[in-house]
Amino acid sequence: MTKNTEIAMESKAWPFQEARSLLKRVGGKTPAKGHVLFQTGYGPSGLPHIGTFGEVARTSMVRRAFHELCDIPTRLVAFSDDMDGLRKVPDNVPNQALLAKHLEMPLTKVPDPFGTHDSFGAHNNARLQAFLDQFGFDYEFVSSTECYQSGLFDDALLAVLGKYDEVMNVILPTLGAERQATYSPFLPLCPDTGRVLQVPIIEQNLDAGTVVYENEAGAKVEVPVTGGHCKLQWKADWAMRWFALDVDYEMSGKDLIESVRLSSKICRILGARPPESFTYELFLDENGEKISKSRGNGLSIEEWLHYATPESLSLYMFQQPRRAKRLFFDVIPRAADDYLRFLETYHDQEAAEQMTNPAWHIHAGQPPREEVPITFALLMNLAGACHSEDPAVLWGFISRYAPGATAENHPLLDALIGYAINYYRDFVKPNKVYRQPTDQERAAMEDLLSALEGMDAGLSGSDIQNQVYEIGKRHEFENLRDWFKALYEVLFGQSQGPRFGSFAALYGVGETAALVRRALAGDDLAAE
């Protein structure tokens, strides 16, 4: 056992806790199938959203932690329920009339409203895979349609048919009276239309491997449960999949707690052990409501990546997975800076601290060495102070602040500049509200101006901050936070920001003095 393995066995980081439970499940040895199987599920009825990525990212973190504990091979399957019938038309896609004509058709048989793929399911599957590939996830994509039609699920489907009554006894008590009258775990595909039918099953023939339902004309229709002629209802389908693929680990959201419980019962009825599970909290939108794929009321993957690094998104997924968190634009800046802070501290930490550091889990145990001398928040304020959305202009200030720093030798910083400009332009700038200083604030700012005019141009941000702090004390601000808040409201049109001293060091002592001078003169600081 290596030192890192010993540390991993004791680490309190949640991926290691999950990995240890999984190792215990398999008895510390390779299962008969030759690997431990991790699974994530994806319902491609709407466009991929950030929660989907979160599940793959978190599962990958547990998988990486598991590899630190042992040398048992693993696989990660990203499973798409693309044989599900289209129940409703999503609000956030084009050509809705086209989709409306194909309700209840399997998603892989619904035309692509975007016109880029053979089906709506294929379009959304491609979107998901492209993004997962962009992040470098090690996974295998598996299509429900292919599994059903290829015969991979045939034995498992026959097993469900053989335990039909027991499965029904699990599900029926959870349904209302009206739904109980029509429910069956098997959903036949209509031989004529191809639609996924939610109809009562009136006969089951185990020897023939078929079920019988009554069509709209009152005629009995017999269909095999195998070969893609039927699919299963959600909870039975999930259990069947665990059984068929021998899944060892799968996490899911809080909204699926009851589904996990019922599917686990069905899995045991089929003679298999359900996978280890992990329940994560749901993401909320700006109003505190659950994010929905169909409503499109949360951040998209593309939106986050327009304003911050992929690593900042991974960090957001790592932190407190069992706590409900808002997932809206205003969480991005802090995530961006938190990631930089964890990356900065990582390489000076002892091994035990490193394996608790989110950077270890974000980078699969190999965080890069890259110095970023400026925070994301500072970059946004710099863009605002110099009224520029040109990265070259910002680099002009940065190269003076950090001599030798260039876009070539600081690629992460260069990327952050672009993200910060985007975020500043779209969210900060439109909401700026400048004000004039009060008499007390004006007197303090006049003192600040005098201090800045007498400062050495190379003074550190900490030294500048100390002087600004002392000025606030001299002018008897009851709460010194009010002093710094005043500076930001008067000079930047916002109520908060990074340490003022750090900003002044970056922007330049002379330039900061000029900014204060303009504010005291009553100039319109919003004017470019």
333-360 tens-digit pLDDT: 999 999 999 999 999 999 999 999 999 9
**Six-digit token string for 423:** 């975020």
Of 229, 259, 283, which closes a domain?
Answer: 283
In a domain, 314, yes or no: no
Q: Is the pLDDT of residue 45 over 80?
A: no
In a domain, 242, yes or no: yes
Which of 130-144, 226-240, 276-290 has the largest mean confidence? 226-240
Q: Is the pLDDT of residue 293 over 60?
A: no
Q: Which residue has the tokens 């003074």?
A: 459
Which of 5-19, 275-289, 430-444, 487-501 shows the lowest per-residue confidence on average (mean pLDDT)?
Answer: 275-289
| Contact assessment for residue 249 and residue 62, using Cβ atoms and an 8 Å cutoff | yes
pLDDT of residue 18: 98
Give residue 78's Cα distance to chain centre. Answer: 15
DSSP assigned state of 117: S
Q: Is the pLDDT of residue 83 over 70?
A: yes
Average pLDDT rounded to a whole number, residues 228-244: 97
Q: Is the pLDDT of residue 527 over 80?
A: no
Q: Is the pLDDT of residue 108 over 60?
A: yes
pLDDT of residue 284: 82
- How would residue 297 be classed by pLDDT, with cut points 50, 70 and 90? low
Of 239, 265, 283, which closes a domain?
Answer: 283
Helix, strand, coil fractions of the chain, as percent rounded to 5: 50, 10, 40
How many independent structural domains does the chain possess? 2
Q: Is the pLDDT of residue 312 over 90?
A: yes
The vertex-283 CA angle with 278 and 139, nearest 5°, equals 55
Rounded-to-integer distance, Cα 59 and Cα 40, Å: 8
pTM of the model: 0.91
Rounded-to-integer distance, Cα 69 and Cα 520, Å: 62
Q: CATH code at 464?
A: 1.10.10.350
pLDDT of residue 44: 80
Q: Is the pLDDT of residue 41 over 70?
A: yes
- How would residue 383 be classed by pLDDT, with cut points 50, 70 and 90? very high
Average pLDDT rounded to a whole number, residues 161-169: 98
3-state secondary structure of 452: helix
Average pLDDT rounded to a whole number, residues 216-241: 97
Q: Is the pLDDT of residue 43 over 90?
A: no
pLDDT of residue 90: 85
Give residue 281's Cα distance to chain centre. Answer: 12
In a domain, 439, yes or no: yes
| Enclosing domain of residue 507 | 432-528
Of 283, 312, 329, which closes a domain?
Answer: 283
Question: Alpha-carbon dihedral of residues 338, 344, 348, 353, nearest 10 degrees?
Answer: 20
In a domain, 333, yes or no: no
Question: What is the per-residue pLDDT across 244-290, written as a single tens digit (0 to 9) for each?
Answer: 999 999 999 999 999 999 999 999 999 999 999 999 998 887 777 77
| Contact assessment for residue 363 and residue 357, using Cβ atoms and an 8 Å cutoff | no
Average pLDDT rounded to a whole number, residues 182-199: 96
In a domain, 126, yes or no: yes
In a domain, 295, yes or no: no
- How would residue 363 be classed by pLDDT, with cut points 50, 70 and 90? very high
pLDDT of residue 287: 73
pLDDT of residue 46: 63
- 460 CB-near residues (< 8 Å, 6+ apart): 501, 505
In a domain, 407, yes or no: no
Give residue 151's Cα distance to chain centre. Answer: 33
Q: CATH code at 276?
A: 3.40.50.620
In a domain, 35, yes or no: yes
